[in-house]
Amino acid sequence: MGIFKYLIAFWMAAAVYAILSLFTGAMGFSAYRELLSERDKQRANMEKLGLVNETLENTKNSLLYDRDTIAVYARELGYGGRDERFVRIVGLGGVKRPAVRPGEVVRAYRPEFTDDHIIKIAALSAGGAVFALFLVFDALRRARD
């Protein structure tokens, strides 16, 4: 068992690297969770854009095929028929239609993760610490004998 116990330091470094990579690495669980939340934000934005598109499509179809809608829009712009007269009341302001917003830009951000160099340094430090403990333990045992 004398020399083989020093292999435990190597396996300790490998285990620390694997565990840290699994949980905090670039392909780990935390990065994956952040990507899933970004995907949900994108899906929610797509649903909002679908509603805006449906509203604009309905407005376009109304303006293409409905004479009454065209007449209402024309009157709001100040146009009228041949036999119509306008009375302007000062102080009321004009009729303002609610502006349809074209949507928002939603950007996907890179997930935050621990850099691979830091994970390697932590793994080598853990392996080196175990190796040093075994080395000190053997040196103390030899000094005692």
pTM of the complete model: 0.62
pLDDT tens profile 28-74: 999 999 999 999 999 998 998 899 899 889 988 988 988 888 888 88
Closest CA to 113 of 44, 51, 16, 22: 22
Q: Inter-axis angle of helices 29-65 and 7-24, to 10 degrees?
A: 20
Average pLDDT, integer, range 101-128: 86
- Cα–Cα distance, 42 to 92 (Å, whole number): 42
How many H-runs (helices) and E-runs (strands) does the chain carry?
4, 0
Residues 6+ apart with CB under 8 A from 74: 80
- Cα–Cα distance, 122 to 108 (Å, whole number): 30
- Cα–Cα distance, 52 to 29 (Å, whole number): 35
- Cα–Cα distance, 90 to 96 (Å, whole number): 15
* Residue 99 predicted with pLDDT over 90: no
Closest CA to 106 of 46, 34, 36, 33: 46
* Residue 1 predicted with pLDDT over 80: no
- How far apart are the two ends of the chain, measured CA to CA in Å? 18
Task: Give residue 112's pLDDT band: very low, low, confident or very high (50, 70, 90).
Answer: confident
- Cα–Cα distance, 97 to 111 (Å, whole number): 41
* Residue 102 predicted with pLDDT over 80: no
* Residue 87 predicted with pLDDT over 80: no
* Residue 121 predicted with pLDDT over 90: yes
Q: Are 37 and 44 in contact (CB under 8 A)?
A: no
Q: What is the mean pLDDT of the chain?
A: 86
Average pLDDT, integer, range 25-29: 91
Task: Give residue 95's pLDDT band: very low, low, confident or very high (50, 70, 90).
Answer: low
